[in-house]
Amino acid sequence: MKITLENIGRRFNRDWIFRGINQTFISGESYAILGPNGSGKSTLFQVLNGSLAPSEGKLDFSYSEKDVDIEKVFNHLSLAAPYLELIEDFTLAEVIDFHFKFKKYKQGMDHAGIIALLNMETSKNKLVKYFSSGMKQRLKLALAFCSDTPMLMLDEPTSNLDLQGVEWYINLIGEFSSGRLTIICSNQEHEYSFCQHRLNIVDFK
């Protein structure tokens, strides 16, 4: 997967959130989008996943050296973010089965493997609406980790996680980001310390 940004900018009303971003994101590399809260990290993140159009500049997506229409980018990515909602009237088992109607499992992973990864065997028939915020976040991360997509995008991945959950994330992120284009939106170093490239949104104000 490859994403190319040429002079990308985004504004709301008359205020520019960022301008003049020239960057190429390529498969097998990991990137951290950095900046303080409210700086526009999540806005750039949404531009990169195709859910928000830039206000200026050129944005191109390609996979296996073939152009990808922006409307089809979602087929190539797995995404976890605190603001993404799970279907709360589903059980854990039902959420997993529903998700993988649209995505393929990574090689060596299956329904039971995800429940084991989460260490939630006793909660597989529990409705998600009764999960803690930390359990929900771990579930979002596991679904993204275990989907066979060339791009992995995580926004504030340890949000709502306790120390044990943070350790769980740190132990897994290297394994599940390997070989993928990985983009982490964060302002906490433990979330992105493995990333090879850093892009600070403040540099494009």
Task: Kindly report the pTM of this predicted structure.
Answer: 0.94
Architecture (CATH level 2) of domain 2-204: 3-Layer(aba) Sandwich (3.40)
What are 184's strand-pairing partners? 32, 154
Instruction: Show the tokens assigned to 140.
Output: 């979002």
**Residue that is written with structure tokens 């603001």 in the block:** 83
56: phi then psi, degrees, rounded to nearest 5? -155, 160
Q: Which residues have CB under 8 Å from 121's CB, separation 6+?
A: 115
Domain boundaries, the chain: 2-204
Query: Tell me: the pLDDT tens digits for 135-157?
Result: 999 999 999 999 999 999 999 99
Query: Tell me: the pLDDT tens digits for 179-189?
Result: 999 999 999 99
Query: Strand runs (DSSP E) across the chain, as ranges?
Result: 2-12, 15-26, 30-34, 56-63, 66-67, 77-80, 151-155, 181-185, 197-200
> Is the pLDDT at 82 greater than 90, yes or no?
no
Residue 171: the pLDDT is 95
Provide DSSP, 19-39: EEEEEEEETT-EEEEE--TTS
Query: Tell me: the pLDDT tens digits for 2-47?
Result: 999 999 999 998 899 999 999 999 999 999 999 998 899 999 999 9
Q: Count how many residues are written for the chain.
A: 205
The gap from C-alpha 144 to its chain's centroid, in whole angstroms, comes to 7
